[in-house]
Structure formats: C-alpha cells, structure tokens
Amino acid sequence: MENGELIPHLFRMEYRKIVSVLAKYFGSPHIDLAEDIASETFLTATQTWGINGIPVNPAGWLYAVARNKAINQLKRNAFFEQSIAPEIKSTQSLFTSMVESDIDLSPGNINDSQLQMIFCICHPSLPREAQVGLALRILCGFGIDEIATAFLTNRETINKRLQRAKQKLRELEIAIALPQEPEMEERLDQVLTTIYLLFNEGYYSVSGQQPIRRELCFEAMRLCYLLIENQQTNKPRVNALLSLMCFHASRLDARTAENGELILYDDQDQSLWNSDLVSKGAYFLNQAASGSDLSAYHLQAGIAYWHTQKKDTAEKWENILQFYNLLLQLEYSPIAAMNRTYALSKVHGKEFAIKEAEKLRLEENHFYYILLGELYTGINNSSARVYFEKARELANTSAEKQIIGVKLDKLDQARPYNNSG
C-alpha cells in the first residue's frame, strides 16, 4: 500500500485508539488535547514517511510517537500549571508519576479505553445528535466534513455541536470509565441506541449522496463487538443488536446496482447475500437467548433472520408477522406498524392489508405512500400511481426518488388486464 493510501487507512483504524487511550489518561476534560496529539501524530507520519519511507510496523510507530508527544505535553509547564495543578492537591507527586508511568497502548488497554469512551460520550446529559457526532469523530475517526454530510448540515454547525458536548462533559466531570450497577443497565441502553443509529445511518443514509455507507455499518458492528468482549457489558440485548446488524449487513452487496442505485428486497440477487454474516447473526441470536431478557433488538433480529431466508414461504412471512405483533406490543412504533402491514399482505392478502394500512394515516411519511402504492398495484393501478407520485413528492433523497420512479415505470408497462383503474 502506497504512503498516500496507507496514512488515511491508518487514520481510520488507529486515530480512535490513540484518542481513547490518551483521553482516558488525561481525563474527559482534555479530550480536545487527546485529539490534538493524535492529529499531530498523523501529521508527523505524513512528513516523516514521505522522506524516510514507511516503517516496518506503522501502527507501532504511531503509538510510539503519540506516547512521546503525550509525555512531552505533560512536561510543558504551561499545561501543567494551567490545566492540572489547580485540580489536584499533591501536584508535583502526581505530575512525576504521570510522566514516569508509561502510557499503555497495549491491545487490551486500547479496547478497554474505547469501551469506556463509548459510555462517556453516550452520557444521558448529552443530546442524542451530540452522542452520535462524538461517536463518529472519536470512536470512528470520521472527519468533520463527513459528519456534516451525515447530519445534512455544515462544518461550522458540527464543530460547535461537538465543542458544546465536550464542554458539557468537562462541566459535569464525566469519567471515562464503565458505570457501576445499577446505572450500567440504563447507560447501556443509551450506548446501544447510539450504536444502532450509527448503523442505520450507514444502512440507509439520509445524506442523499451515498444511500449506503458500508463503513458506518461495520463501525457500528465493531463498537457493539467491543461490548460483547467485555464480561460486564456482554448482555443478551447486546448480542441481539449485533445479530440484527449482521443479518442486515449480510444483504449489503445486493442492495445497490453497479450504477449505485438502490435495489429493494424483492428485486435483490440472493446469491450476493453474505452467508458468513448470516451465520454470525444466527450465532449471536443464539447467544442472545440466554436469560429472560426480551428486548426490541431480539424481535427485530428475529424479523431480520427470516428476511435472510431465501425461499418466499408462508412460514417465513407468518413468522415475520408474529415478530412484528410482539414488537408492537413491547415497543410501539409507527414505522414498525407500517412494516407489519407489508408482512400482513404476504400472509392475508393485499385487500386485508390495505384496510389496516389506511388506519395508520402516516400522511407525512413517504414510505407510507410507497407501501400503499405497493398494496394497490395489481388491484387498482390508478390508485397505486397516485400513491407513488405522492411518495416521490415527499421523498428526501435522489435514491428514494429513483426507486419510486422504477415502480412507476413498471406500472406503465403493466398489461391492461392487470389494471382495474
């Protein structure tokens, strides 16, 4: 790999590790300092490797430089006097111990630091969008411009949002550490929600430029796996979430055409579904079955599992429908109710499903009109066209408009006897 390709790759992989370890070392009030040192480390790599060539162990070189920069920073009197001394009693002894102690960039401490950082930035005092933004920046190594694109906003807005979030962490003195029971249960739910939001942004991006962002999906899965690797956070619902993401990710290759256009479920080439990810999803779903915990992630994972079964059987859709029924009882959502209606059409027919769908009255949701268009197709194609046109009018992205356009084209190609409108 050439230098121009290697450094961006390493930035994505190693930046988060360096920031997490250094932020834990300095404390959450100094996350900015940890980020600065990590950024300076990669700048040094760019300058040095361009002259001397790529070192034998690039990641190890980055860790060594980051460690040295951190220790040098501690030795600067201005930083010590202004940032550390006012906060401690025995300043000299603590300063000495920090400088003399090694900054631990071992694999075990890197994983622990990232895990603890997840809980820090997913603190309930922060707005949800700030939690996701910090996760993208600190734990996934995304640039400010990338985050701005994901949030459909600009660089300045994201910078201000992240700085406000970091200021909040400083004011509340939130520790970079795993919470203790019983706080762990509530905080874990916050973390899982943030991880799932990251995955969903990748699986169906609202940015409009890239309808699917694979790197976001796999970053979310990586963060979830960190939770599973730790005994304190390896809970059934964590396994259920990772199972759900594995099942969804198994169909990523089949969800886009060569020209980048989205391909809906019924039109996907099933030979492109990733059987390894399906198997991993089944494994984690089995792990999630331990204990009496039943979460929405369990039920959604069950639905996703049946969507990976290639044969369109009555058993498949009956199971999906039953999972949706349970999900709505546990945690009602208009989107889940809408998706249930599609399963209902597969089990009881379109006419029955239309009656249920029209009760939902989700007039501001373009997916609702896509659903009605699907249900009316073949029954009353004129009504189907009206609903698809309304959906296209409300659609947010070019990818969504493209999908609806395909459906309208199919209506135009339908034979007269298949059009009662």
Query: pTM of the full predicted structure?
Result: 0.85
pLDDT for 230? 94
pLDDT tens digits along 369-379: 999 999 999 99
Lowest mean pLDDT among 1-5, 281-285, 368-372: 1-5
Q: Where in the chain are the domains? A: 1-105, 107-234, 288-356, 362-421
What's the mean per-residue pLDDT of the chain?
Answer: 87
pLDDT tens digits along 32-52: 999 999 999 999 999 999 898
- Cis before 182 (ω within 30): yes
pLDDT for 384? 95
pLDDT tens digits along 78-104: 555 555 555 544 444 444 444 545 688
pLDDT for 150? 75
Mean pLDDT of 165-175: 92
Helix runs in 122-273, H state only? 128-134, 144-150, 155-172, 183-203, 214-229, 236-249
28 burial level (CB within 10 Å; 0-12, 13-18, 19+): buried
40 burial level (CB within 10 Å; 0-12, 13-18, 19+): middle
pLDDT for 160? 94
Query: Which amino acid is present at 220?
Result: A
Q: Are 151 and 158 in contact (CB under 8 A)?
A: yes
Q: Are 357 and 372 in contact (CB under 8 A)?
A: yes
pLDDT tens digits along 292-307: 889 999 999 999 999 9
* 262 DSSP β-pair partners: 256
* Residue 18 pLDDT > 70: yes
- Angle of the 296-307 helix axis to the 275-288 helix axis, nearest 10: 150
Least Cα distance to 121 among 70, 158, 63, 170 occurs for 170
Lowest mean pLDDT among 9-23, 198-212, 267-281: 198-212
pLDDT for 260? 72
Which of the four pLDDT bands, split at 50, 70 and 90, describes residue 13? Answer: confident
Query: Which amino acid is present at 224?
Result: C
pLDDT for 84? 54
How many secondary structure helices (H) and strands (E) does the chain include?
20, 0
Q: Are 175 and 30 in contact (CB under 8 A)?
A: no
193 CB neighbour count, 10 Å cutoff: 15
* Residue 418 pLDDT > 50: no
pLDDT for 1? 59
Q: Which 3-state string (H, E, C) describes 278-311?
A: HHHHHHHHHHHCCCCCCCHHHHHHHHHHHHCCCC
- Between CA 375 and CA 13 the distance in angstroms is 45
Cα Dmax for the chain: 88
Quickly tell me which residue has 């060539």 as its tokens.
53
Q: Are 59 and 106 in contact (CB under 8 A)?
A: no
pLDDT for 90? 42
pLDDT for 5? 80
| Token output for 22 | 């250094």
pLDDT for 125? 93
Q: Are 237 and 297 in contact (CB under 8 A)?
A: yes
- Between CA 284 and CA 243 the distance in angstroms is 5
